Amino acid sequence: MSSPVESPKDPSPLTLERRLAPHVDGAWAEDFVLELRLLGVAGDRIGAALTEVESHCADSSEGAPDAFGDAVTYARSLDLPVDDDESPRAVLRALAPTAVQLAGMFILSWSFGPALSGGPLEITVGHLAGAIVAALAIAMVVRVADPALRLLVRHPVRAGFLLWAWLVAVTGACVAALLLLDAPLWRIGAAWGVAAGAGLLAAGAAWAYADIRADRGLADPITSPLGPLPPSTSRRGRLLESPAFATLTATAVIPAGTLGLLALTLALHATTT
């Protein structure tokens, strides 16, 4: 029986790959898991494939690169079934609660200022155009998620620049639409906007919570076929893996951000009146 294969590129012993496959070169395991993730393989199948590599390496005292060759090539050669939950439609469905929360956040933040000053909320052509641009941007993200993620992993600098340029373009288009297309389409009481925004925000958070309870969220943890993995030895690892953390990020981040925006609006209103 060999000791764990060490490598200068080994990630921390606290990582999931290290706990699942202590005899496998950490960098190799990371590349292997990442490629299977990008291929859309479910977490339990990824865990089983990595555990079999671990089993072979522990028995043979061979390093994974020697016994299995390149991690990416080996991951592809397994030809594991792709999980339906990783399809663009499923990803879009899983992101829907977040999109509803974001819509609530925008409507609430747009309505809150007019509500404080007692004026009506004007829905302009720019609002509509901005919403369409944002929806198209989300659809594009879902459509090209796979090649974009591959590019981000293989060429982080180039992909990071492209992502930044894309975000600037989308934000610029939304801001330009809001500023230039200011012809009013509808005029409603700001209180209705506040109520609609708060309602959407609460509904989106409740939807996200229900998805987590029903295990329909995006989370697809890598599991061992041999039973529960030993818990992470770090406080940070335990926090990131806890169900409470997943619930908080899915249900509380956008409402908390909205509260921050409302507090800022309130402070600005107080200073100008």
Assess 59 for contact with other proteins (CB under 8 A): yes
Q: What counts of helices (H) and strands (E) characterise the chain?
A: 13, 2
68, 169, 209 from 52: Cα distances, Å:
11, 45, 35
- Can residue 23 be called a binding residue for other proteins (CB under 8 A)? yes
**65-84: which residues touch other proteins (CB under 8 A)?**
67-69, 73-74, 77-80
> CB of residue 80 vs other proteins: minimum separation in angstroms?
7
* Burial per residue of 163-200, b for 16 or more beta-carbon CB atoms within 10 angstroms, e otherwise: eeeeeeebeebbeebbeeeeeeeeeeebeebbebbbeb
Min CB(97)–other proteins separation in Å: 35
For residue 135, the Cα-to-chain-centroid distance in whole angstroms is 17
Q: Stretches 45-53, 143-151, 237-245, 264-272: which one binds other proteins (CB under 8 A)?
A: 45-53
Choose between 69 and 119: whose C-beta lies nearer to other proteins.
Answer: 69
The phi, psi pair for 11, rounded to 5°, reads -75, 180
Q: Do you know the residue count of the chain?
A: 273
Report how many residues bind other proteins under the rule CB under 8 A.
Answer: 26
Region binding other proteins by CB under 8 A among candidate stretches 55-63, 157-165, 190-198, 199-207: 55-63
Is 56 among the residues that bind other proteins (CB under 8 A)? yes
Q: Say which amino acid occupies 224.
A: S
Binding range to other proteins, per CB under 8 A, among 117-125, 171-179, 225-233, 258-266 = 225-233
Give me 41's structure tokens.
């393989």
d(CA 32, CA 50): 8
Q: Which of 29, 58, 115, 201 binds other proteins (CB under 8 A)?
A: 58
Q: For binding to other proteins (CB under 8 A), which residues are involved? A: 1, 23, 48, 51-56, 58-60, 62, 67-69, 73-74, 77-80, 224-227
